[in-house]
Structure formats: structure tokens, C-alpha cells
Amino acid sequence: MKSYINTKETDMKFTDFNLKSTIQQAIDEAGFKEPSPVQKEAIPLILEGNDIIAQAQTGTGKTAAFGLPIMDQMKADGSVEGLVIVPTRELAMQVSDELYRFGKYAGLKTATVYGGTAYAKQIERVKQASIVVATPGRLQDLLMSGKIKITPRFVVLDEADEMLDMGFLDEIKNIFTFLPKERQTLMFSATMPKGIRKLAEQILHKPKTISITKTESTNTNIAQHYYVVQERERDDALVRLIDFKNPAKSIIFCRMKKEVDRLVSHLTSQGFKVSGLHGDMEQKQREVTIRGFKQGGIDIFVATDVAARGLDVNDVTHVFNYHIPFDSESYVHRIGRTGRAGKTGEAITLVTPAELRTIKKIEKDVGTKLLTQVIPTRQEVQNSKSDELIAAIAGTQITENAINLVKTLQHDLDIVTIAHLLASRLQESQNIKGKENIGLGLEEIELLIERTMRGRGNDRGRGGYRKSGGSNRNSRNRRNSQGGSRHRGRRNSKPRRD
């Protein structure tokens, strides 16, 4: 089920909102047909003049959910009528672009305000804009120094949870002291931790709550699964999965900057087109890197959570969690980098036996069951590569040089031998790395989960699967393999309770 299409029984259209024709024209031009769930709920409430607090996952169309109804009510009289506060510079630019797109036929200009660049140009733009999209730091600067004076009727906090995570609470509170009391305030957040609710109480007036239920809020376009590996197998597992999935564009998440750097050089040495993204990068360098990723040239991004905040690249096909995130919120944010704009995506998480408890908690918090999978063997990857190779060969143009090459070879060899040699040569270039089996089999994982959920120590499990896993592929999947039944027996005969 796509997130924007057929999400509800009702067949609602954008025209049902009766927006101004100039706004509707922009919606048509953007190719939006049906409003997303959060748009269906938020747009009428905002048009009625309510404050709202809305929870919905990333990639569910929140920008249009607040942008369309506020722009519909704007006069384009040369004053700043709307203020949108977002956590990062990238998001400011993205949101600003999207709002510009919706408002251009209505004569609504946008200005973008963020740190790290000169003041003058931004101030100039603000003076001509109907909508200001700003990051908290620079906005607070401009307001406190009196460099800009604005009285917006509409104030939006976008990605509010991320702003609090990034430590912007004081700035936000301070900014509100400069804003008119008579205003409509809209708060959007992917998650609703306590801090967000508290802030909402302070800045919102009788808000209507919108919560796109968990299953709707976790984008159903994203296939989510996890693989269980030993700590030392992470790199091999990652390379094998990339080889197997052959992702067009992917992001690999790590916990630390150090890990980002290490993985970038490791994957580069394996021949992948990789780039790292972490918090310490200079803004310019960061932009160049992101552009490289958006336009091709770089297929894989290795990033920390902070660095990937607000990153909106529309066609990320795969998100890899090299390390499981620290909490469920980060998990939601991470996987939200794929499956955007109604496209499908895949989120893959590597966990060690000791981390199974965390993955179970994430499943519970997020309200989705993740699929357990076994890492393909070298042979399996080889087979799938062979299929690709066959397709590629079938689609190749025969060249003059190739004909001459075969003629030369035919002096000494028969044609079948030549074909075999060439095929071997081609396969060699595919070179699937690593050992045959990586990670745990399904049965071992099931067993471990059972133990984990019963509160048994992971150490007991560890001895067991080492013996049963490993070289014999069959033992990885068959329920009644020797290893499995032996452990079942032992567990039953010696019940433990803590």
C-alpha cells in the first residue's frame, strides 16, 4: 500500500479543500493527486484557524500539510505573514523550495534564514518575503539585534523533536517572545516525547491533536528487516549485503564519526563509490558531498544520525543500520530517509545477539514487526550476479575489436573453450568477497529471541549457536538440525529463572 494513494477508504482530492486557484494550479503542477493522511487531517483544521500539534513520520508530506493551508490564507501584501522554524540549514532550504513551488502563482515569496552565511542578503530577502523559513540560531540573532522585525500570523515549528534534540529549546522559547500573541501556531513532529508536549502547552492555544497512527506513521512503503551477526562480522555482513542488494542509492548509519571514517575507507577499498557525512564537516564540503549523492557519482553515504538530519534525497533505495540506533526515535528518523514520496525502500539493520533485546523494543515502540533474515551465502550472491551478467551479456553490442580478439584466440583454442575462459574472466571481476556463511541462521535467531524474551542471559546462547551455526548451510535453516534440538532439550531439562 502506497502512503499517498488509497490510504483511506475515502477518495479525497486536493480540490475538495477549495484552495485558491493559484495554489491549486501549483499542486497540479507538482503532480500531487491525493492528499496524504496527515494532509487530509491537518489542512481542514488549519483552514478553520486551529492551532495544531501533529505527529507523523518523515516523508509523509508535512510541508504541504502546513504550507498549503497557510498560503491559501495569505494576502501577499509584502509583509511577512508566515514563519516556519526548522532544525537545520538543509531543511530550511528544502522547505523553502517546496513552499516557493506552492506559492509562486499566488505571488508569495519565501526567504531563507540560517547561520554560516552573510546577514545582509538574508535580511534583504526577508523584507520582500511573505514566508520566512529559518533555523533557530540565526533567527534569534536577527530578532534580538533588531535587524528584522516580523509579525507573522502563522508560525510553524517543523521537526520539533529534532530541534529539541539539537538543544534549541531556549532559542525557540526566546524567539516566541518576539512573535505576536495573536497568531496561529502549528507544531509538527515525528515523535512526541515529553519535552515536546511541554513546549506545546506553552506556545499552542487550545490545539487540535493529529496523530497519524503508528502503522500509518511508519511508512508502509519501507520493507524493514534485520540480520543477526557477530560483532566481528559487521563489515563482512555489510559488504555481502551491498553486493547482494545492489542498491542504487543507500545510506549507512553509524553511531560515531570514527566509524564513519573507517567504513568509508573500507568500502572505498572494496570498490564502492562512497562518501562520509558527519557533524564536523564544513558546510561547503557538506553541500558538495550531498550534491554528489543526489546527482550520482556517489552511491553510498555513510553517516551519523546528526549528520543525516533533515536529509531529503528522494530516491534512497536502502538504509543500512551498521549499528542499531540508541533509541526507537532515531530508528524512525533513520529509516525515514528511504521510501519517500510514495516510493518503496528497504531498511536493513545489523544486530548482534546481545542487541536482540533492543530490536524487540524498537519493534514494540514503532508498532511494526521487523522481518528476520539470513545473510546470503557467497554462492547465493554469485548466482544472483550470474543472472545479472547474463542479462548484461544479452544486452551488449558486439564490437569490431571483440570480433578480432575472438579471431586471434581461435588460432589456438576452440570456440567453447574461448567462451568458458571469457565467462570465467567476467565472473572473476565480480569477485564476491568474504567467507561462505556470515551471521546466524533463522533457527538460531529464533532460539536466541526466545531466550532473550524470557530474560535469559545472552551468554548461554552464545556457546550454543557457535557450534550449530557455521559451515553447514542446512543447519542454518532447518528447524530440526542437530544443534537446535540439542539446545531445546537442554533448555527444557534445566529451566532457569532469574
Chain residues that interact with ligand ADP, rule: CB under 6 A: 4, 32, 35-36, 39, 56, 58-64, 312, 314, 340-342
**What does the alpha-carbon distance between residue 374 and residue 441 come to, in Å, rounded to a whole number?**
6
**What does the alpha-carbon distance between residue 222 and residue 366 come to, in Å, rounded to a whole number?**
13
Find the shortest distance in angstroms from Cβ 118 to Mg ion.
26
In Å, how far are 136, 245, 260, 322, 354 from 256, measured between CA atoms? Answer: 25, 25, 6, 11, 19
Regarding 333 and contact with Mg ion (CB under 5 A), the answer is: no
Instruction: Specify the DSSP element, H or E, that contains 112.
Output: strand 110-113
Find the shortest distance in angstroms from Cβ 45 to ligand ADP.
17
Q: What's the burial of 298, exposed, middle or buried (CB within 10 Å: 0-12/13-18/19+)?
A: middle
Q: Which three cell numbers stand for residue 205?
A: 492555544
Closer residue to ligand ADP, CB minimum distance, 249 or 323: 249
Q: Which does 133 bind (CB under 5 to 8 A by kind): Mg ion, ligand ADP, none?
A: none
Find the shortest distance in angstroms from Cβ 311 to Mg ion.
11
Closer residue to ligand ADP, CB minimum distance, 58 or 338: 58
Closer residue to Mg ion, CB minimum distance, 88 or 304: 88
Q: Which does 154 bind (CB under 5 to 8 A by kind): Mg ion, ligand ADP, none?
A: none
Find the shortest distance in angstroms from Cβ 345 to Mg ion.
17
Find the shortest distance in angstroms from Cβ 304 to ligand ADP.
19
CB atoms within 10 A of CB 5: 10
Total number of residues binding Mg ion (CB under 5 A)? 1
**What does the alpha-carbon distance between residue 154 and residue 194 come to, in Å, rounded to a whole number?**
24
Q: Which does 36 bind (CB under 5 to 8 A by kind): ligand ADP, Mg ion, none?
A: ligand ADP
Closer residue to ligand ADP, CB minimum distance, 307 or 438: 307
Q: What's the burial of 463, exposed, middle or buried (CB within 10 Å: 0-12/13-18/19+)?
A: exposed
Closer residue to Mg ion, CB minimum distance, 34 or 312: 312
Instruction: Return the residue nearest Mg ion (CB atom).
Output: 62
Q: ∠ at Cα 253 (247, 254), nearest 5°?
A: 140
Closer residue to ligand ADP, CB minimum distance, 66 or 465: 66
**What does the alpha-carbon distance between residue 122 and residue 111 come to, in Å, rounded to a whole number?**
7
The answer to whether the Cα torsion of 444, 331, 209, 22 is positive or negative is: negative
Q: Which does 341 bind (CB under 5 to 8 A by kind): Mg ion, ligand ADP, none?
A: ligand ADP
Closer residue to Mg ion, CB minimum distance, 62 or 323: 62
Find the shortest distance in angstroms from Cβ 91 to Mg ion.
7
Find the shortest distance in angstroms from Cβ 62 to ligand ADP.
4
| DSSP 8-state secondary structure symbol assigned to residue 167 | T
Closer residue to ligand ADP, CB minimum distance, 228 or 335: 335
Q: Which does 185 bind (CB under 5 to 8 A by kind): Mg ion, ligand ADP, none?
A: none
Q: Which does 322 bind (CB under 5 to 8 A by kind): Mg ion, ligand ADP, none?
A: none
Q: ∠ at Cα 366 (363, 367), nearest 5°?
A: 75
Closer residue to ligand ADP, CB minimum distance, 59 or 376: 59
Find the shortest distance in angstroms from Cβ 471 to Mg ion.
48
Closer residue to ligand ADP, CB minimum distance, 162 or 171: 162
Residues 397-436 that bind Mg ion (CB under 5 A): none
Closer residue to ligand ADP, CB minimum distance, 234 or 340: 340
Find the shortest distance in angstroms from Cβ 67 to ligand ADP.
8
Q: Which does 60 bind (CB under 5 to 8 A by kind): ligand ADP, Mg ion, none?
A: ligand ADP
Binding marks (x or -) toward Mg ion, 54..83, rule CB under 5 A?
--------x---------------------
Find the shortest distance in angstroms from Cβ 31 to ligand ADP.
7
Instruction: Return the residue nearest ligand ADP (CB atom).
Output: 61
Find the shortest distance in angstroms from Cβ 368 to ligand ADP.
18
**What does the alpha-carbon distance between residue 314 and residue 363 come to, in Å, rounded to a whole number?**
25
**What does the alpha-carbon distance between residue 435 and residue 416 come to, in Å, rounded to a whole number?**
31
**What does the alpha-carbon distance between residue 406 and residue 411 come to, in Å, rounded to a whole number?**
9
DSSP string over 247-315: -SSEEEEESSHHHHHHHHHHHHHTT--EEEE-TTS-HHHHHHHHHHHHSSS--EEEEETTTTTT---TT
The answer to whether 39 and 214 have CB atoms below 8 angstroms apart is: no
Closer residue to ligand ADP, CB minimum distance, 96 or 377: 96
The answer to whether the Cα torsion of 377, 381, 384, 389 is positive or negative is: negative
What's the length of the chain?
Answer: 498
Q: Which three cell numbers stand for residue 71?
A: 498560503
**What does the alpha-carbon distance between residue 360 and residue 316 come to, in Å, rounded to a whole number?**
25
Q: Which does 263 bind (CB under 5 to 8 A by kind): ligand ADP, Mg ion, none?
A: none
Find the shortest distance in angstroms from Cβ 24 to ligand ADP.
13
Which 3 state secondary structure label does DSSP give 165?
Answer: helix
Residues near 13 by beta carbon (within 8 Å), at least 6 away in sequence: 33, 34, 35
Q: Which does 340 bind (CB under 5 to 8 A by kind): ligand ADP, Mg ion, none?
A: ligand ADP
Residues at the interface with Mg ion (CB under 5 A): 62
